[in-house]
Amino acid sequence: MEPSLGVSPEQVPSPAGQDASLREAWGVVCIAAERASVARLNVRALRNWIDAHARLVDGLSAPEALLGLDLARGWSRLIAGDVDGLVEQATAIESAASKARIAPMVIEAASLGAMAALARGELGAATAVARRASRMARTEALPQQEYLAHLVLARLRRFSGRAHLALRIVGALGRIASPQWRGWIAWESLLAGGIEEARIVLDADEEASVASAASAAARALMAVVEGASAGRRDVLEQGAQAAREALSGCAPWQWELEDALVAVDPDRLEGGSAAVAAWACGDGALPGWLSGVAGLARLPPEAASIYVLARPGGGSRRLIELGLPLVAGPTSELGTETGPLRTRKAAALLLLAGPAGAVRETFFRSVYGFAFAPVIHQGVLDVLLHRVRAYLGDAVEMSRSGDVIAIEVRRALLVPEEDAERPLDDRILRALATRGGGSAREAAEFLGVPLRTVQSALRELVDEGECVAHRQGRQIHYRVEDTTFSEPTRH
């Protein structure tokens, strides 16, 4: 039974002997129940309602009931991870709903299309469709469709590495969305780095009696975060297993969970996507969808949030700061103040290269950003390697064989990686997003940065459209704004 509707799929009458108007009315019930099942990620309930809906519309020609069934089937495919041809299916549903002037289904089909494009790795196309769905939902002022479209937009913002915009959206939704959306909102909040926002939503959710797989998954993910931050592997593993059970049959959310576990757990490299495994082993940047997770360990995220963990015998890997308490055994942690940024970056690259070492030319280009010319740059390289050796101390032994530079690790150590240093702009935007805005002085005090530095950065951010300024009395307040998202209201 769907508690918000007071009915179950079994109560949907057989079409035999029922007139068309009654069947159409029950079709509306099925559509509402299917939407609620999607919001809650209740896979079994969604399938049961689809089966009841299919029986009901047999021989019916009402476009709303028929399109609603097609839409529900599309969402069922997306949740199961079956996205082959789904973008095209969603586009066809949106077109048919537009011709039939069924605005809610136009918005929902566009949201489905954005999620399907994202699942296929088409981030640009997915973002464009999500922005269009969000704008349509706001124009039509349809609350449930607004919540869905805005949630999808938040997800796209997070995947594009703009976690501060995702936090802005889910923070607004968490204050007004109906209970059925809270679990998904909390999930997105956590993965965008908003642990306090997620707690607020989940605390409010405790008062509702609606069973939600999304809420169970978000609570379990919270346990993963808390277990990691406390160095309690047992708590982390229990949370991970609970999340897997809650997300059974929800493929996109399941692989997000596994990716987050690889990024957090120093002893886990398998189970996640190829992209996050490659990042952990030193190849490429942290995937955008995990950019918010890297900031969960502290607020404000002022220092490096990604470290390189090096152990004797090889096996060096990247690790987000949240997972540091899970590192077992004695480990030397080198602070950010003990080495210049370039030295730390070079040290991280050599540690990640492992016993096989790094080729001189490739290593030099990675550090400096331009090609190595032996006559010009050999002295520069020698100085850099001398600094790396001094920075790492007797924890390693460096060797050079021809064009290969290698490091042998004698004892475990952690090195903050330069690439993880959060730009000031990002730190300011995250601070504004999590605090709901504020003045330059408030942001400066919160971040521990000189006021003039923050004021200068804010002027540039306003010029670039990343945030807006408005006067409140004698002060100028700043707020993160999305050029697409407009905060919905209860009316």
Range 94-111 average pLDDT: 96
Predicted pLDDT at 419: 44
Distance CA 125, CA 156 (A): 10
pLDDT value, residue 114: 97
Top pLDDT among 481 and 233 is at: 233
pLDDT over 90 (residue 331): no
Specify the pLDDT at position 485.
Answer: 63
Q: Is residue 466's pLDDT more than 50?
A: yes
Q: What is the pLDDT of residues 364-378, one digit of tens each?
A: 998 888 899 988 899
The tokens describing 289, both together, are 């969808």
Dihedral sign for Cα atoms in the order 304, 305, 311, 316:
negative
User: 75: Cβ–Cβ under 8 A, 6 or more apart, which residues?
Assistant: 34, 38, 46, 112
The dotted CATH code for 424-480 is 1.10.10.10
Q: What is the pLDDT of residue 9?
A: 80
Binned at pLDDT 50, 70 and 90, residue 420 comes out as very low
Which pLDDT score is estimated for 228?
94
Predicted pLDDT at 5: 59
Sign for the pseudo-dihedral over CA of 121, 124, 126, 130: positive
The yes-or-no verdict on residue 19 having pLDDT over 80 is: no
pLDDT for position 97: 95
Evaluate if residue 256 carries a pLDDT over 50: yes
Report how far Cα 180 is from the mean position of its chain's Cα atoms: 20
For the chain, the domains span 161-296, 306-420, 424-480
Q: Mean pLDDT lowest for which of 142-146, 224-228, 364-368?
A: 364-368
Q: Which of 16-30, 197-211, 212-226, 418-432 is predicted most confidently?
A: 212-226
Please compute the mean of the pLDDT values over residues 443-458 and round it to a whole number. Answer: 85
Interatomic CA distance for residues 326 and 334, integer angstroms: 17
Distance CA 124, CA 238 (A): 36
Pinpoint the alpha helices (H) of 281-358.
341-353
pLDDT score of 111 more than 70: yes
Lowest-confidence region among 58-67, 189-198, 366-375, 382-391: 58-67
141 vs 220: CA distance, rounded Å: 33
> Beta-carbon neighbour count of residue 373 at 10 Å?
11
Helix (DSSP H) and strand (DSSP E) numbers for the chain: 20, 10
Q: What is d(CA 288, CA 336) in angstroms, rounded to the nearest whole number?
A: 24
Is 302 a residue whose pLDDT tops 60? no
Sheet with 332-333: strands ordered across: 317-320, 306-310, 413-416, 332-333
Return the CATH fold of 306-420: Arc Repressor Mutant, subunit A (1.10.10)
Answer yes or no: is pLDDT of 184 > 90.
Answer: yes
Residue 385 confidence (pLDDT) = 94
424-480 has the same fold as 306-420: yes
The percent of residues in the chain predicted with pLDDT above 70, rounded, is: 89
**Which range, 160-174, 257-271, 309-323, 341-355, is most confident?**
257-271
Whether the link from the prior residue into 325 is cis, omega within 30° of 0, is no
Distance CA 238, CA 233 (A): 8
Q: What percent of the chain stands above pLDDT 90?
A: 50
Over range 429-448, report the average pLDDT: 81
pLDDT at 57: 78
Residue range 434-450: mean pLDDT, rounded: 82
User: Among 21-35, 131-145, 225-239, 255-269, whose mean pLDDT is lowest?
Assistant: 21-35
